[in-house]
């Protein structure tokens, strides 16, 4: 096949699957999650992949086999991926033996054993470190395993249900005294419509409660009018939102502005997650939050509001 013909040839999704060894479902998931690949559509509406995208997918598959994660390499060009592969070293894995063992439990459906292992780690680490040092990286690994086709959707759901059971019990078991503060923020947690992923929200709630905040979760996909009504009814100081990498930037940006307009001016909006809206020119009114920053951000909120309380009227 000539070079010119290669560059003009289009590949069906079945062709790409055979060529790269990447499953069709994996390709579709990456398309939604990472905006790559970006196939065209043929006359019948079927996906059609240009040669340059197939070439990059071959490199992606090679790097995955070396131990890289999809989220760490998708943004690179084919040339950059080639340089990474030529380096010859496997990617540094963030998977401690414990995390690898947890992932193996998910794959073999040993959910009772997984729950027990999590409870033991929770007892040793405490809720804060359990959330930041174990749950956050493990959830990332599970999500990437699903994106690669190594975990089925139902297996990811089993993991989510097991984790929620453990963390909900931990949150409700915190002594009331640990939440006491001379100025305790009231935080309403939820996700916007079309945002179905709730594990990030649960992790944020655990860290906020452990940090002494009074939290009320509305769960996921709450209509904007209901968020605003709940914020008023609960006398919330903060509305905390979680975004997944699959959220649509323009839709998220429009919804955030509508929510800001609907909330009382004194209510702050905090948000965390992987959506581009949080990192590509986030709205000025939005407090972008990393899980490891929760404690410091709560302390800053208290300092600001203590100054406001102390200021003469």
**Structural domains of the chain, ranges and CATH numbers in brackets:** 3-86 (1.10.1660.10), 97-173 (1.10.1240.10), 180-310 (3.40.50.280)
288 strand-pairing partners: 271
Q: What is the pLDDT of residue 84?
A: 81
Report which of 20, 30, 116, 128 is spatially closest to residue 71, judged by C-alpha positions.
Answer: 30
**pLDDT at residue 174, as a whole number:** 78
Verdict on whether the full-model pTM lies above 0.85: no
Q: Which helix (H) or strand (E) holds 72?
A: helix 70-73
**252-261, pLDDT tens digit by residue?**
999 999 999 9
Q: What is the pLDDT of residue 72?
A: 80
pLDDT for residue 176: 56
Let me know: does 282 contact 288? Beta carbons within 8 Å.
Answer: yes
pLDDT at 311: 52
Mark residue 221 as left, alpha or beta (left: phi above 0; alpha: psi -120 to 50; beta: remaining).
left
pLDDT of residue 112: 95
Q: Which residues of the chain have pLDDT under 50?
A: 1-7, 90-95, 177-181, 313
3-state secondary structure (DSSP) of residue 40: strand
Which H or E element spans position 83? helix 78-86
CA 291 to chain CA centroid, Å, is 11
CA 237 to chain centre: 24
Tokens linked to 297 = 């951000």
Sign of CA dihedral 234, 290, 199, 120: negative
> Which residues is 132 bridged to in the sheet?
none
**Preceding peptide of 37 cis, ω within 30°:** yes
**What backbone torsions phi and psi does residue 35 show, to the nearest 5 degrees?**
60, 25
Tokens of 148: 């690669």
Quote the tokens at residue 35.
């905006």
For residue 284, what are its two tokens? 């000025």
Q: What is the DSSP string of 252-292?
A: HHHHHHHHHHHS-TT-EEEEEES-GGGTSS--TTEEE--GG
Residue 185: the pLDDT is 93
Under 8 Å CB-to-CB from 309, ≥6 apart: which residues?
Answer: 183
Q: What is the dihedral of CA 191, 197, 203, 206, to 10 degrees?
A: 60
Cβ atoms of residues 188 and 218 within 8 Å? yes
């Amino acid at each position: 096949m000539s070079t010119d013909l290669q560059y003009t040839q289009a590949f069906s999704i079945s062709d790409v699957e055979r060529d790269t060894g990447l499953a069709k479902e994996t390709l579709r998931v990456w398309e939604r999650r990472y905006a790559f690949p970006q196939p065209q559509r043929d006359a019948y509406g079927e996906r059609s992949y240009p040669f340059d995208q197939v070439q990059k997918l071959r490199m992606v598959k090679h790097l995955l086999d070396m131990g890289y994660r999809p989220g760490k390499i998708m943004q690179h060009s084919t040339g950059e991926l080639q340089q990474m592969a030529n380096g010859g070293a496997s990617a540094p894995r963030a998977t401690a033996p414990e995390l690898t063992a947890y992932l193996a439990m998910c794959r073999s459906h040993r959910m009772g054993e997984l729950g027990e292992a999590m409870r033991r780690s929770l007892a040793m680490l405490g809720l804060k470190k359990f959330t930041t040092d174990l749950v956050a990286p493990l959830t990332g690994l599970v999500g990437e395993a699903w994106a690669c086709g190594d975990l089925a959707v139902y297996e990811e759901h089993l993991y989510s249900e097991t984790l929620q059971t453990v963390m909900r019990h931990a949150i409700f078991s915190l002594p009331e005294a640990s939440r006491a503060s001379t100025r305790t923020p009231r935080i309403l947690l939820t996700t916007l419509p079309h945002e179905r992923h709730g594990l990030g929200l649960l992790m944020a709630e655990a860290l906020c409660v452990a940090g002494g905040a009074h939290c009320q979760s509305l769960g996921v996909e709450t209509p904007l009018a209901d968020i605003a009504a709940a914020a008023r009814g609960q006398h919330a100081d903060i509305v905390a939102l979680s975004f997944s990498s699959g959220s649509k930037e323009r839709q998220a940006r429009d919804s955030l502005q509508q929510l800001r307009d609907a909330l009382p001016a004194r209510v702050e909006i905090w948000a965390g997650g992987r959506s581009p809206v949080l990192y590509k020119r986030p709205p000025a009114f939005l407090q972008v939050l990393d899980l490891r920053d929760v404690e410091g951000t709560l302390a800053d909120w208290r300092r600001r509001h203590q100054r406001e309380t102390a200021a003469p009227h």
